[in-house]
Structure 1
């Protein structure tokens, strides 16, 4: 892993599909193909979340039919793949994002019980996760337990702080926001419900 490709932060969901923005780190995808892949994945994974469907019948709850948001970790395809593999092997059970990252795309902060579809670096759906805990606190107060749960590098808090500060300084460059140790961080824990 290079210094430019480190952190567990994820790109906040953008309407259930990866962004076509060149800065997103994900390759541009054909919207129709992407939507079909996500829908197919959701149809297969949905029972693992306790959601059932009758093919979109009248009166059926939208949460059973409409796929949850889909997103990838990091800001490059290589990083997305690397962090996804940690999830699939059970090492990575947490992630962190800045509150401002959600505000910049007008997305709601994650909540306990939220479902998400994790994408690989090519934008292919690979895992369905459920958020189990969410805590927002200043960067300087993120715990060693959270750093360990993110499962990256040596899993220490010191390394977590170094890598995440480097990542967020890079990703905030050129925005109206600057990194400092008081910046609010969303610390999210999750469980894998289904994977391919």
Structure 2
């Protein structure tokens, strides 16, 4: 199995992280990324500002599953700020989750941000789009 460390030799400074708020969700979302169904993600602007490894356009990131094993490497293709209430159907589809609808996206992301203690309809999100460059 390929390790995070060996991938970081090939992709220097690439942070390794999992998507979601549980090991089970990390497995599901990592699988969607590997299959090319999930090509976007988002987080609160506040969390990006607090994170020293915030993404930049062109940067590489190692995606981990729920067991913290690497499953693929992505490259950030675009970043933009958008308020939660302004996320559209097209972006919801790119997130690749549930039935791909904006209704599902809003429900699940409101749950996620509320659980994290930071939900507001007006909150600013960093919306990122990416492509898979290597499947491990």
Q: CA deviation at 1:96?
A: 0.9
Residue of 81, 98, 103 corresponding to 1:158: 103
Moved over 3 A (4+): none
Contact 1:99–1:109 (CA under 8 A) maintained in structure 2: no
Gaps of 5+ in 2: none
- The separation in 2 between residues aligned to 1:187 and 1:67, in whole angstroms, is 21
Question: Given the alignment of the two structures, is residue 41 of structure 1 paired with residue 11 of structure 2, yes or no?
Answer: no
User: What is aligned with 2:38?
Assistant: 92
Q: CA deviation at 1:184?
A: 0.5
RMSD: 1.7
TM-score scaled to structure 2, two decimals? 0.91
- The separation in 2 between residues aligned to 1:179 and 1:126, in whole angstroms, is 30
Higher strand proportion, which one?
Answer: 2
RCO comparison, higher one (Cα < 8 Å, 6+):
2
Deviations 1:110-157 (A, max 9, x none): 221011000111111111100011111110011111100011001011
Question: Given the alignment of the two structures, is residue 103 of structure 1 paired with residue 49 of structure 2, yes or no?
Answer: yes
Residue of 122, 128, 131 corresponding to 1:191: 131
Contact 2:15–2:53 (CA under 8 A) maintained in structure 1: no
Contact 2:73–2:132 (CA under 8 A) maintained in structure 1: yes
Structure index of larger Rg: 1
